[in-house]
Structures are given as structure tokens and as C-alpha cells.
Amino acid sequence: MDREPLKKVISLLAKIPGVGEKSARRYALFLLQQPKEYALELARAIIELKEKTGFCPICGNIASSEGDLCAVCSDPTRDRKTLCVLESLEDLINFEQSGVYSGLYFVLGGRISPMEGEDLDEEQLEKLKHYVVEKDFKEVIIATNPKVEGDLTFYAVYDVLKDCDVAISRLAFGLPVGGSIGYADRVTLHASLDSRMAVNGGKKARRE
């Protein structure tokens, strides 16, 4: 009987992807052993997160409330001719936090994964195509993840956009900066060799 509240928190936390039963238990026990203020603050923050956050109707980024444009779409200083297509909101936030990109975004909100039975939403693809054509983008960067699912997703998006009058590109594959060659897997090594950069005065190295 006295474990009911604990079981409840554990079962709710275990619904978060990547959080197993044991991790959920560890988290719940940590919450239990914290001062009451922390638990109350977290509970309040979670409610506020849902109440004071919505999604941008154009790109899918976080917005201050449902229906509002996000900080990126409403920023007049962004490059409005370049669009970066991403699988998830998480990818968008990492891009924004890195500060390396100044164009606009479009979150697919999904990916193609035959193994996990995931597919892209046809409506999202239609919405993307319409957005690209209507706003006359010059370049679309299809920034899907460097794995099989990302490849499949890339080709599906490419297929939808290939007849539009727009340059289409994709993120470079290669060694992660700060990583080490000794630990790189062979596919990454192959990609980094395949896309090697010429350094002697811009003369292109041989590429297959």
C-alpha cells in the first residue's frame, strides 16, 4: 500500500523513451529523497511547460503558445531563403543552441524506419513542398541523421522536392570533430575519405 505513489511515478517516468524500469526507479527514489521544494518545483515546471508552450504552425519549433510563430520564424534578421529540414524538434534545438545556422527550419516530426514501423506523414511532406514553392526558397538542406533511417528519410524528402526549382543539399559525413581516427567506425572512415577536402589551393582532390 505505502508504495503506490512510488509505483505511479515509476510507471509514468518509464514511458519516456530511453528510460527503463530501473532508471525510472532510480529517478523516482532520487525525487523521493530530495527536499519537498525540489519535487514541487519540478511538478510545477512540468505543468507550466505544457501550459506556456506551443508549437510554431510553420516550422514546428517551440512557440510561446499554440498558434504563435516561433522565435526563428518571426525573426526578421534570419536568412529567409535557406530552409533546413529536420527529423525532430530535438535536432532543431541542438542546431539553434549551436548557433551555426541562420536560416529557417522545417521539422518533419518523424522519420522512415521500416524496422520500427515508422513512416513520414504525407501531409507534412505536402506542407513542406508547398512552403518551399510558396516562399521561393533558394536552398533546402535536408539535415536527416547519419544512419539508415536518416538515409531513407532523406530520399523521401528529396523525392518530394526534386522537381522544385531549389538547390537541395545534405549535411556532410565525416569524422566528428574532437573524435579520434583510432575509434572511428569503418563507415565513418570511408565517408570521411570519400568526402576528403582538398587543401592545396582549392584544387579538387579525386572523388569517386
**Residue numbers at the binding site for a second copy (CB under 8 A):** 1-6, 8-9, 12-13, 15-19, 23, 25-33, 36, 38-53, 62-64, 68, 70-71, 88-90, 93
Nearer to a second copy, 110 or 191 (CB): 110
Provide, rounded to whole angstroms, the least separation between the CB of residue 30 and a second copy: 5
H or E element at residue 42: helix 36-51
Provide, rounded to whole angstroms, the least separation between the CB of residue 36 and a second copy: 5
Provide, rounded to whole angstroms, the least separation between the CB of residue 163 and a second copy: 32
Nearer to a second copy, 37 or 208 (CB): 37
User: Is residue 68 a contact partner of residue 45, using CB atoms and an 8 Å limit?
Assistant: no
Q: Which three cell numbers stand for residue 9?
A: 511515478
User: Is residue 185 a contact partner of residue 171, using CB atoms and an 8 Å limit?
Assistant: no
Provide, rounded to whole angstroms, the least separation between the CB of residue 2 and a second copy: 4
Beta strand pairing call for 104-107 and 82-86: parallel
Nearer to a second copy, 62 or 164 (CB): 62
- Integer angstrom CA distances of residue 120 from 48, 72, 114, 141, 157: 30, 24, 11, 17, 9
Beta-bridged to residue 139, according to DSSP, are: 82, 167
The distance from CA 40 to its chain's CA centroid, rounded to whole angstroms, is: 30
